Amino acid sequence: MAVVNKKGLLFVLILLAIIFPLIVPNQYYIHILTLAFIWTIAVYGLNLLSGYTGYLSLAHAGFFAIGAYSLGLLTVKVELNYWLAFMLSPIITCIIGVMIGLIALRTKEHFFAIYTLCVGYIIYLIIDKWDSLTGGVRGLIGIPAPADIGFISLSTPLSQYYFVFIILLLVIFTVYRIVHSLTGRSFTAIRNSEPLAQSLGISPMRNKLTSFVLSTFYAGLAGALYASFIRFIGPEIAYTTITFDLLTYMIVGGIGTLSGPLIGTLLIVWLSQNLQFLQDYRMLIFGPLLTLIIIFAPGGISGTFLQWRARRKEKQRINMTTMKKQA
C-alpha cells in the first residue's frame, strides 16, 4: 500500500515537472526552476557525504566551481567537443576530490568541517587569483550551451529545463540505489559510530573516500550544468556563501533523507524569489528560520515527517496488539 502511494506520488511529481513549463509558460520561472534543479543536484552530493556518512564538508562550493570551471576552460580555451568536456568535468572534479579527500578524511567532526572550509576557500582564492588560467575576477565568458544531440536542440531555455530535469532524475535514482545498497548501509554505519562500523569489518577510509568522491562528482556535475546554463562563471561560485546556501537547502529539507535536498532547495529558492524585494534583509528571515529548525526539528521537513510517520505506524501496531490481547 505504502509502496503504491510512494510510486504514485513520484509519478505525479514527475508529471508536474514535465507539464510545468506548459502551464506556466513564463521564461523567468523556467529559468529559476532550472537553476534550482542544478542546485538540487549539488545538494544531493552534499547530503550523501554529510547526511548519510556524517562528514560535514564545507568545500562543496569549491568542487561545484571546479566542475564549472573545468567545463568552461575545456570548451572556451581548449575548444573541446562539448559533450566530451561535459563528461570530463565531473571526472576532473573527482580526481581533485580523491586527492583532497585522502588528506581531509584523516580528520573528524568539526576538524573535518574546518579543514574543508579552508580547502573551499583555497579553491576560491586559486580561481580568483590565477588570472591567466581562470580569468580571475573577470570570470569566463562565452561558454557554449549544451550542443545539439542529433536533431534535438538544447539551446532554448525550455529544452535546457528538460535536459537538467532528466539529469536530476538520474542523480536522484543513483543516490536512491546507493543509499539503499550495502554500500549505503556502510556509510550510515560509519555515521552512527566509526569504531562500531570498523569492528564490524567495514573499512572506514575506503567508504568515507567513496562517499567523499561521489559527493564531489555530483558537485562537479552540477557545476558543469551551471556553467553551460548560465554561460558565464566568476570566482564567486566557489565562495563560502554558496556552500552555506547548499547547507541551508539540505538542513531545511532534511539532512540524511532522500527527498530532503529536493524539498529544501525548491522551497528556499522559491521563498528567496518571493522575498526578493527585501534584498539582503531576507537573511533576517532565513537566519532565525534555520536556527529554529536546528533546535526543534533537526531532521528538517522531510526527516520530521518521516519520524512522525514512523511513530504513528508503531502506535497503530501497539494498539493492534493490545486489541488482539483484549479480544
Partner 1 sequence: MYFETRELSKEFGGLTAVKEVDFAIEKGKINAIIGPNGAGKSTFFNLITGLHRPSSGEVFFKDQEISHLSSNKIAELGIARTFQTTNLFERATVFDNVIVGHRLRTKTNLLDAILRTKRCKQEEEQCKEKAWEVLQATGLTHVATKIVTNISQEEKKRVAIALALATDPEVLFLDEPTAGINPDETNGLAGLITELAQMGITICLIEHKMKMIMQMADKIMVLNYGEKIAEGAPEEINKNEEVIRAYLGGEASA
Which residues contribute to the site for partner 1 (CB under 8 A)? 174, 177-178, 181-186, 188-189, 192-193, 195-204, 210, 214, 307, 310-311, 314, 317
Q: Quote the least distance from Cβ 177 to partner 1, whole Å.
A: 5
H helix intervals, the chain: 2-23, 27-46, 60-76, 82-104, 109-129, 131-134, 157-179, 182-192, 194-199, 204-230, 240-253, 260-274, 283-296, 300-326
Cβ nearer to partner 1, comparing 109 with 314: 314
Q: What are phi and psi of 152, to 5 degrees?
A: -85, 120
Cβ nearer to partner 1, comparing 2 with 182: 182
Whether 78 and 251 have beta carbons less than 8 Å apart is answered as: no
Q: C-alpha cell of 84?
A: 566530451
Q: C-alpha cell of 174?
A: 543513483
Cβ nearer to partner 1, comparing 32 with 202: 202
Q: Quote the least distance from Cβ 256 to partner 1, whole Å.
A: 9
Helices and strands (DSSP H and E) totals, the chain = 14, 2
Crossing angle of helices 60-76 and 82-104, in 10° steps, is 150
Cβ nearer to partner 1, comparing 152 with 200: 200
Whether 140 and 232 have beta carbons less than 8 Å apart is answered as: yes
DSSP string, 114-179: HHHHHHHHHHHHHHHH-HHHH-GGG-EE-PPPPPPBTTB---SHHHHHHHHHHHHHHHHHHHHHHH
Q: Quote the least distance from Cβ 9 to partner 1, whole Å.
A: 22
Cβ nearer to partner 1, comparing 109 with 131: 109
Cβ nearer to partner 1, comparing 146 with 299: 299
Q: Quote the least distance from Cβ 39 to partner 1, whole Å.
A: 23
Cβ nearer to partner 1, comparing 153 with 322: 322
Q: Quote the least distance from Cβ 310 to partner 1, whole Å.
A: 6
Q: Quote the least distance from Cβ 76 to partner 1, whole Å.
A: 32
Tell me the C-alpha to C-alpha distance, in Å, between residue 284 and each of 182, 268, 278, 279.
42, 14, 9, 10
Q: C-alpha cell of 15?
A: 508529471
Q: Quote the least distance from Cβ 191 to partner 1, whole Å.
A: 8
